[in-house]
Amino acid sequence: MTAQLLLRGKRGAWGALLLVGALMVWEKGWTMDMEHFKLENGLNVVVVHDGRAPVVTHSIWYNVGSMDEQEGKTGLAHMTEHLMFKGTERYPVGTMDKMVQRKGGMMNAFTSYDFTAYYQKVPVTELAPMMDIESDRMENLKLSDEVFLPERKVVAEERKLRTDSDPTDRFFEQVMRRHYQHHTYGHPIIGWGADIQNYTFGDALDWYERHYAPNNATLILAGNVTAAEVKPLVEQYYGRLKREDVPARAQPVEPLREGEIRFVRVDPQVQVVSWNRWYRTPSAFQGVAGAEVVPGEATGLWVLAEILGGGASARLYQQLVMEQQLADSASASYDVVRVGESTFDISVQPKDGVPADKISAAVAALVDELKSGGVTEAELARAKVSLKADEIYARDDPFISVYRLGMWVTAGGKLEDFNRWQDELAALTVADVNRLAQTYLTTDTSTLAVLAGHTAQLGSVAVTPEQ
């Protein structure tokens, strides 16, 4: 029923045909058909018009995620997401999903670092009952130890299955904890095992009551609807909810540090070596160590990730996989939209028999070359076209539009700025990209994380001692 997403900006490859189409749209410019209004109780409403199919995605986004959790109570955002399916007086447990199915739709939810979201995809004619369900459970969730205790077991089991029994997941949970030593991004979304065992029904109830309110949420509707059509329905169902006192969101900061962090592990369960370097970077909403955001930097880093590791024509793949034949895969990724600072990640899967120290040296040489020699005009132009193509074609799916918008607004973005990246992308120069590479691809403030199956795969890279 529930899905948990760890958002890392991976992108698919697009064919030549798509690029031609994108160039045509590029010429014309491109914006989403989007309307916005706000209810008196503070609920933000966004309507994305897409008339191609008689369906609508009805989604509600709360400005709360695992980053808002306290030490000792990690995982409460995700736990509450589970409890939201436990029913209300009017919709007892099990009846919501059955009704959505009967109406020909589907429903789900997800919890991330920055947000918690719920959605249903239904025929346009079934929008009203979805609003009834979602507005009802924003205020009237029926919680008791009777529903809480068995669900806590379900979540503990989910953690065992997903994390404790998966060597890669287990490893990256520990990498996050080391990379974010002060920022709450260091907590796993699902929560630490001991915390899950220890929190109570009262903790979950408190979380729900503090964060679930119309003035802490955005309703996003996408499909064959307009604001004029849906406004009376939104008023009818959501307008009755009361505004509540919601605590201001804490803005945790990871202080600056000196020296690289290394986390190197050997796990006999692992077959394929995973080599990773995480650089500290600003997101669109927060700079490194709480610094002010510099407009355009996030878009520039997005382009830099594309040039360095966005696909088979990018530098990492060309040099490590094709030329030097050291790796089976090599890529870079970067998340633009985060409430807090972001990371710029390089990930390499070495070829069988190539030790991790060789990868460290090859990546270091490649990054040094990039910082001293810079990127070319051709690389920049190709990256711009490719990223714009990805965005345009991704948004062919209204659900992806909803997802991007939801992330944007829950991170604190204004709707009128949602398409700002297009102007920033167009204005970006080679000098901008080079300056970003020189500023942010600094090894001595980065985290090196390597997971191998046995020590021979590490070469001279030392295993991190147990703490």
* Cβ count near 51 (within 10 Å): 10
Burial class from Cβ neighbours inside 10 Å (0-12, 13-18, 19+) for residue 334 reads buried
314, two tokens: 């990018």
Number of C-alpha atoms within 13 angstroms, CB side, residue 226? Answer: 2
Taking CB under 5 A as the rule, does residue 2 contact Zn ion?
Answer: yes
Q: How far apart are the first and last CA of the chain?
A: 37
Q: How far is 181 from 76, CA to CA, in rounded Å?
A: 20
The pair phi, psi for residue 40, each rounded to 5°, is -60, -30
Three-state SS for 347?
strand
Q: Please identify, among the stretches 1-9, 66-74, 177-185, 338-346, the one whose residues bind Zn ion according to the rule CB under 5 A.
A: 1-9
Q: Please identify, among the stretches 150-158, 252-260, 294-302, 448-456, the one whose residues bind Zn ion according to the rule CB under 5 A.
A: 150-158
Q: For residue 290, how far is the Cα from the chain centroid?
A: 19
* Cβ count near 325 (within 10 Å): 10
Q: Please identify, among the stretches 152-160, 209-217, 223-231, 430-438, the one whose residues bind Zn ion according to the rule CB under 5 A.
A: 152-160
Q: How far is 269 from 271, CA to CA, in rounded Å?
A: 7
Q: Which of 81/379 has CB closer to Zn ion? A: 81
The pair phi, psi for residue 6, each rounded to 5°, is -100, 115
Closest CA to 275 of 178, 336, 163, 354: 354
Q: How far is the CB of 81 from Zn ion (least distance, A)?
A: 7
Q: Which of 120/276 has CB closer to Zn ion? A: 120
Taking CB under 5 A as the rule, does residue 439 contact Zn ion?
Answer: no
Q: How far is the CB of 158 from Zn ion (least distance, A)?
A: 5
Q: Please identify, among the stretches 154-162, 285-293, 405-413, 441-449, the one whose residues bind Zn ion according to the rule CB under 5 A.
A: 154-162
Give the residue ranges of DSSP H helices in 12-144. 16-28, 76-83, 95-102, 127-139
The full DSSP string for 187-198 is S-TT--HHHHHH
Q: How far is the CB of 199 from Zn ion (least distance, A)?
A: 15
Q: How far is the CB of 189 from Zn ion (least distance, A)?
A: 9
Q: Which of 158/229 has CB closer to Zn ion? A: 158
Contacts of 57 (CB under 8 A, 6+ apart): 119, 120, 121, 220, 221, 222, 223, 398, 399, 402
Taking CB under 5 A as the rule, does residue 41 contact Zn ion?
Answer: no
The β-bridge partners of 222 are 48, 57
Q: What is the CA radius of gyration of the chain?
A: 23
Q: Which of 2/168 has CB closer to Zn ion? A: 2
Q: How far is the CB of 222 from Zn ion (least distance, A)?
A: 24
Q: Please identify, among the stretches 59-67, 112-120, 155-163, 215-223, the one whose residues bind Zn ion according to the rule CB under 5 A.
A: 155-163
Burial class from Cβ neighbours inside 10 Å (0-12, 13-18, 19+) for residue 229 reads middle
383, two tokens: 């990256």
Which residue among 40, 71, 81, 341 is the active-site one? 81
Residues 67-86 that bind Zn ion (CB under 5 A): none
447, two tokens: 């985290």
Q: How far is the CB of 1 from Zn ion (least distance, A)?
A: 8
- DSSP letter at 53 equals S
Contacts of 343 (CB under 8 A, 6+ apart): 179, 278, 279, 280, 281, 334, 335
Question: Whose CB is nearest to Zn ion?
Answer: 2
Q: Which of 139/151 has CB closer to Zn ion? A: 151
Q: How far is the CB of 354 from Zn ion (least distance, A)?
A: 37
Q: How far is the CB of 109 from Zn ion (least distance, A)?
A: 9
Q: Please identify, among the stretches 153-161, 345-353, 371-379, 432-440, the one whose residues bind Zn ion according to the rule CB under 5 A.
A: 153-161
Residues 369-388 that bind Zn ion (CB under 5 A): none
Residues 156-185 that bind Zn ion (CB under 5 A): 158
Annotated catalytic, 306? no
Count of residues of this chain found to bind Zn ion when the rule CB under 5 A is applied: 2
Q: Which of 132/158 has CB closer to Zn ion? A: 158
Q: Which of 190/221 has CB closer to Zn ion? A: 190
Closest CA to 78 of 119, 105, 114: 114
Q: Which of 116/215 has CB closer to Zn ion? A: 116
Q: How far is the CB of 351 from Zn ion (least distance, A)?
A: 36
Catalytic residues: 81
Which residues of the shown chain bind Zn ion in the complex (CB under 5 A)? 2, 158
